[in-house]
Structures are given as structure tokens and as C-alpha cells.
């Protein structure tokens, strides 16, 4: 009896449950468009990024996020580095002059920041021809941002693709999924069409594709986030999906937190850590 009783615990606890395998990181990363916090200074942006557990940022020259002035820009870059935040892009930077000096000044701005990619606005097909030589010289990705039906030139990423399709592969798109949908183009189709020329993405959600003013927290609208993420993986996108939250400018954090929670939840459902 004693021998049998002594062996019982060993039999009962012989096989401990295996530790669950950690989910792999997603092929692309969630980042932040600093325009989300356009009402706040850089110190607050950094504080918010830490709260959100983000380590990458696409900076716009708004407030003191990433000034064009070289001295102020250096201070901003140093502050992000000290906080463990990488500047993965800059913009939107507008290219409206078909002049080498103007374009070079902007590429020098990008170079000083160590930004590997520029989210670009404005421009014409002729200006893009001039920009291409600077892309080759500086080895910086040029991601032209579509701004929807109101944009004179670039309604959707497909309009960009028509112009850059035979240029250097570094000439491409930053797909703003909200403006893309408002232009009547499914963002999923746009991702697949742009493919290797997709260099950046601005994420947001809309309650109504006909209304620019219908932006809501990501997950509360009709944007097919899951399908968009599937398309990004299908085209082997390795860049960033930067939340660009354009509502509740004076108090964005509740909606921003909710938006990241939703996107991370979508990734978790796909088997990835976001």
C-alpha cells in the first residue's frame, strides 16, 4: 500500500504541459504617423509612443516633430534616439517645384534625419522624372501619398502607379487606405496592384466611404483591415503601417489606444504578434 501510494504522485504529474510557442512577429510593423499628435509637442509625442509600446515613427514637420531647420532637426533626431524610437520616414513632404535646388534641400532634410523613406505629396509626372535621379543618388524610398478625390493629381495609388511603373523601383506609393477607399478603389486591390512599389501605409477607418468626415476609431468603421493585412503579407510587404488618426485632435489617445488594440487583435487572430 505504501509503495503504491508513493508512486501515485509520480504517475499523476509525470507529463507537465508544454510551454506555448510564442507568436512570431508580423512581417510588417505597426508604426505611428506623428500627425496623429499634431496638437502636441515632440516630448508628448515621445511619451505617447512609449505608452503605446511603439518604437517607430513617421515624422511630419508639424510643431517640433521634425523641423526643416538643420539645428532643430538634429535636436529632434537625438531626442527620438534617446527614447529608443526610430524615424522610419518623414512627411508628408510636398514636392511642388520642378527645381533641383528645392528637391535636393528636401532630400538633405531626409538624409539628416536618417529617414529611409519619404512620404511625398504634390508633384507632377514631370517633377517625378526629376525626383527619380535624387532617389538614386540618396537611396531614399519615395512614397507618393494619395489624397483622395480632392487631390488634383493623385486620387488613388493606381494614379501614382501609372506614372512610376517604369521608374526605379524605389519610386512608389504610401497608400492612405482611407483616401484610397474614398476614391473608389478597394485598398486590398491597391496593395496587390502596387506590390513591390508599396513603401508606406497610413491606416485609418471610415464609417462611410463617401464622406471624408466619417473617420472613426480603427475597428469601428467599414475598412477591411483583416483583408488589407492579408494582402500586405501576400505581397511580402516589410515596411510599416502607420496609424494616422485625424479626429479628436485635442484628446486623441483614447481612440488611438483603441485603434492599436484593434489592429494588434487582427494580427493576433492571424497568428502574429503586433
Write down the residue that cell numbers 504578434 correspond to.
273
166-184 tens-digit pLDDT: 999 999 999 999 999 999 9
Do 83 and 50 form a contact (C-beta atoms < 8 A)?
yes
0.85 exceeded by pTM? yes
190-247 tens-digit pLDDT: 999 999 999 999 999 999 999 999 999 999 999 999 999 999 999 999 999 999 999 9
Residue ranges in 115-174 assigned as alpha helix (H): 125-138, 157-164
Report how far apart, in Å, the C-alpha atoms of 245 and of each of 108, 157, 165, 192, 225 are: 28, 20, 30, 24, 15
Mean pLDDT of 5-17: 51
CA angle 86–90–94, rounded 5-degree value: 180
CA 6 to chain centroid: 60
Mean pLDDT of 24-35: 95
| Minimum mean pLDDT range among 9-13, 79-83, 89-93, 174-178 | 9-13
| CATH assignment, 27-269 | 3.20.20.150
Taking alpha carbons only, the member of 228, 146, 230 closest to residue 182 is: 146
Query: How much is the pLDDT for 146?
Result: 96
Higher pLDDT, 3 or 262: 262
Burial class of 271 by CB neighbour count within 10 A (0 to 12, 13 to 18, 19+) = exposed
Write down the residue that cell numbers 510588417 correspond to.
28
Give the three cell numbers for residue 184: 473608389
Phi and psi angles of residue 84, each rounded to the nearest 5 degrees, phi first? 75, 25
37-66 tens-digit pLDDT: 999 999 999 999 999 999 999 999 999 999
Residue 273 has pLDDT above 90, yes or no: no
Give the three cell numbers for residue 34: 506623428
Residue 269 has pLDDT above 70, yes or no: yes
The average confidence (pLDDT) of the chain is 93
Residue 15 has pLDDT above 60, yes or no: no
CA 35 to chain centroid: 12
Residue 9 has pLDDT above 60, yes or no: no
199-215 tens-digit pLDDT: 999 999 999 999 999 99
Torsion of CA 102, 38, 91, 75, to 10 degrees: 70
Residue 157 has pLDDT above 90, yes or no: yes
Helix (H) or strand (E) holding 79: helix 70-82
Angstrom distance (rounded) from CA 223 to CA 227: 9
- Domain residue spans in the chain? 27-269
Query: How much is the pLDDT for 3?
Result: 45
Amino acid at each position: 500500500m505504501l509503495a503504491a501510494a508513493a508512486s501515485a504522485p509520480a504517475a499523476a504529474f509525470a507529463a507537465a504541459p508544454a510551454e506555448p510557442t510564442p507568436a512570431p512577429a508580423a512581417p510588417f510593423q505597426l508604426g505611428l504617423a506623428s500627425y496623429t499628435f499634431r496638437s502636441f509637442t515632440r516630448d508628448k509625442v515621445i511619451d505617447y509612443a512609449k505608452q503605446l509600446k511603439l518604437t517607430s515613427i513617421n515624422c511630419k514637420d508639424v510643431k517640433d516633430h521634425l523641423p526643416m531647420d538643420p539645428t532643430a532637426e538634429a535636436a529632434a533626431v537625438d531626442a527620438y534616439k534617446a527614447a529608443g524610437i526610430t524615424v522610419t520616414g518623414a512627411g508628408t513632404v510636398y514636392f511642388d517645384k520642378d527645381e533641383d535646388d528645392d528637391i535636393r534641400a528636401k532630400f538633405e532634410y531626409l538624409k539628416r534625419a536618417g529617414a529611409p523613406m519619404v512620404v511625398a505629396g504634390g508633384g507632377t509626372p514631370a517633377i517625378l522624372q526629376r525626383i527619380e535621379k535624387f532617389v538614386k543618388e540618396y537611396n531614399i524610398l519615395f512614397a507618393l501619398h494619395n489624397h483622395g478625390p480632392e487631390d488634383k493629381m493623385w486620387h488613388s495609388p493606381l494614379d501614382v502607379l501609372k506614372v512610376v511603373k517604369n521608374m526605379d523601383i524605389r519610386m512608389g506609393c504610401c497608400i492612405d487606405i482611407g483616401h484610397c477607399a474614398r476614391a473608389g478603389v478597394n485598398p486590398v486591390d491597391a496593395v496587390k496592384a502596387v506590390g513591390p512599389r508599396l513603401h508606406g501605409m497610413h491606416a485609418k477607418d471610415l464609417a462611410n466611404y463617401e464622406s471624408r468626415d466619417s473617420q472613426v476609431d480603427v475597428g469601428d468603421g467599414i475598412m477591411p483591415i483583416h483583408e488589407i493585412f492579408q494582402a500586405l503579407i501576400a505581397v511580402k510587404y516589410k515596411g510599416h503601417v502607420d496609424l494616422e488618426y485625424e479626429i479628436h485632435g485635442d484628446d486623441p489617445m483614447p481612440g488611438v489606444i483603441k485603434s492599436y488594440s484593434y489592429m494588434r487583435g487582427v494580427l493576433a487572430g492571424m497568428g502574429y504578434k503586433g
